[in-house]
A and B are shown apart, each in its own frame.
Chain A
Amino acid sequence: MKLPPYADLLGATLEWDEGLPVLAMPFSDAVLGRPGFVQGGAITGLLEVAAIAALRHQLAAEGGGRIKPINVTVDFMRGGRQRVTRAAGIVTRLGTRIANVEASAWQEDRARPIASARMNYLIVRG
């Protein structure tokens, strides 16, 4: 799976965990918000790249299609510290035109997320 230029801007790379895509973003000045913390927009950007990666992965099995974002709602639970942030998406429903996706971001412990998001996407089947 090829990531878009925006993933490079974030410094994010693709990892696989049990056959599912996980995005990893090291801490850098490019993602810094208030001193010592990752900016919420960078965390959200990572969540959105992870959500689209999960959706693209599942969609590929059904012949692919184009993905257009409709909206995102993000809850920030903990500050993102100066270390690697990871994010993964879960497709809760993939319909013919709409996909509902959830994504979460964590640092050391996946069970202690720093942020979680709910997204809706419009699917244009190929």
Chain B
Amino acid sequence: MGIETALAGIAGMDKVRFGGHGGRLGIGYHAHGDGWVELALPYSEEMIGDEDSGVIASGPIFALMDIATSLATMRKLGRFVAHATLDLRVDYLRPAKPGHVVVGHGESFAIKRSIAFVRGHAHDGDPNDPIAHVSGTFMFLEDVSADLAKGASA
């Protein structure tokens, strides 16, 4: 399933364009709920960062978590609002096992007038043995005050 599934039922979906870098990495839908989204990154030899070990580069995991936390923010807000990543930190707890699908769980835990605060983690099969942990912020490029008044914020 395409990652647009994560935004099913969200207003303004027609403004969203999928494909691009996420599409090139093969990132797909995994699951979603209120204020959280999980995406899947399939293994590909094209993403290898260390040829001796076959381990994928850290960049695709960063992209996975950037997109998952971005969609989680739209999920929590309840509509699509243009936004940009302000900062994102990723701790790479251990390398992803070659051949394994990486699942990225992103959540938006606080939405304010200008900024959304996000966090997430990624695993390659066992959610209790994560490969990465992330935290960051997005800035909104439009006013979301009305959405907050309707109870979009936690």
Report the count of interface residues on B (CB-CB < 8 A): 36
Cβ contact within 8 Å between B24 and A48: no
What residues of A have a CB within 8 angstroms of the CB of B92 in the complex?
69-72
**A9 interface residue per 8 A CB criterion:** yes
What residues of A have a CB within 8 angstroms of the CB of B45 in the complex?
5
Complex Cα distance, B62 from A48, in Å, reads 10
Size class of A's contact patch? 35 or more
What residues of B have a CB within 8 angstroms of the CB of A33 in the complex?
20-21
How many A-B contacts are there with CB distance less than 8 Å?
Answer: 118
Kindly report which residue of chain B lies nearest to residue A77, judged by CB atoms. B86
Complex Cα distance, B63 from A6, in Å, reads 13
Cβ contact within 8 Å between B82 and A32: no
Complex Cα distance, B45 from A40, in Å, reads 22
Kindly report which residue of chain B lies nearest to residue A116, judged by CB atoms. B87
Cβ contact within 8 Å between A72 and B62: yes
Kindly report which residue of chain A lies nearest to residue B21, judged by CB atoms. A39
Cβ contact within 8 Å between A6 and B64: no
**B57 interface residue per 8 A CB criterion:** yes
**B42 interface residue per 8 A CB criterion:** no
Cβ contact within 8 Å between B21 and A42: yes
Kindly report which residue of chain A lies nearest to residue B91, judged by CB atoms. A71
What residues of B have a CB within 8 angstroms of the CB of A42 in the complex?
21, 59, 63
Chain B contact residues, CB within 8 Å of chain A: 17, 19-22, 24-25, 45-52, 56-60, 62-64, 66-67, 82, 84-92, 95
